[in-house]
Amino acid sequence: MRTTRPLRLCLLLVLMSPTSQQAVAETSAEQLKQRIQARSQRIAEFRALLNDPDQTVRLAALDEMLGSDDVAMRELAFGVCFNSADQAMRAICLRRKFADLGTINVEFPGAAGQEWSASQLKVLQVWGGTYTFSVTGFDPKTGRFKTTGKYSSGSGQLSGTRLTFKHPYCAGSFALGDGAVLEGELGCTSSWAGTFKGVIRLQ
């Protein structure tokens, strides 16, 4: 049976009334609250698993969280595992994070200090204070990757918590230090000759 036009108009007016709109808003707010609480509980449960005494449970939870579509879940996992004492967790964390990086920036925190020689300062000036290169073809299974750039075409290897790479004039070796920071040295030859201590920030 068809609804008459006056009846349809009456129903529309009821739905448009302030009372009806308030009811819809309250229902939406309650539904949102329930979703947030459910999500919060799920994240809290996974976070607890990251600290489980059993390493296999920790690693399984970490892998699940890092593979999640939930940005908050992934960032929480990165925050926990980069600061973990479990080296296996830190290695997994580094490999997952590295897979997301398209560019590597080696920074030199002491560039403005007095520890650099005159020749080193000139090199740092040429680099603009940062040694940068792009990463392509990273294989998460083997840890191998290629690098590209004006003076940085070459290859590299990610093994555990250590990162190494070799370019025509420079080669680097860095290891995961405190938090999400790789610390190490960049050794160069030719007009860039010298050893430069630097860091690679992952977050």
116 and 88: one domain? no
In the listed set 73, 93, 113, which residue is the last one of a domain according to the structure?
93
pLDDT value, residue 157: 97
194 and 107: one domain? yes
pLDDT value, residue 17: 56
Distance CA 50, CA 44 (A): 10
107 and 197: one domain? yes
pTM, rounded to two decimals: 0.77
107 and 194: one domain? yes
Decide: residue 6, CB within 10 A, 0-12 exposed, 13-18 middle, 19+ buried.
Answer: exposed
21 and 42: one domain? yes
56 and 81: one domain? yes
pLDDT value, residue 172: 97
User: Residue 5's pLDDT band (boundaries 50, 70, 90)?
Assistant: low
In the listed set 49, 72, 93, which residue is the last one of a domain according to the structure?
93
Q: What is the tens place of the pLDDT at every residue in 12-27? A: 444 455 555 555 555 6
61 and 44: one domain? yes
Cα three-residue angle 110-86-55, rounded to 5 degrees: 165
Beta-carbon-side half-sphere exposure of residue 143 (alpha carbons within 13 Å):
14
Distance CA 93, CA 181 (A): 12
pLDDT value, residue 1: 45
53 and 126: one domain? no
pLDDT of 32 above 90: no
SS3 assignment, position 172: strand
Q: What is the tens place of the pLDDT at every residue in 107-143? A: 998 655 547 888 999 999 999 999 999 999 999 999 9
Taking all residues of the chain, what is their mean pLDDT, rounded to a whole number? 85
pLDDT value, residue 6: 56
Q: What is the tens place of the pLDDT at every residue in 163-185? A: 999 999 999 999 999 889 999 99
In the listed set 49, 69, 93, which residue is the last one of a domain according to the structure?
93
pLDDT value, residue 40: 77
Q: Which domain holds residue 36?
A: 5-93
71 and 112: one domain? no
Given a contact cutoff of 8 angstroms between Cβ atoms, the answer to whether 116 and 124 are in contact is yes
pLDDT (average), residues 138-153: 93
pLDDT value, residue 67: 86
Number of domains the chain is built from: 2
pLDDT of 193 above 90: yes
21 and 87: one domain? yes
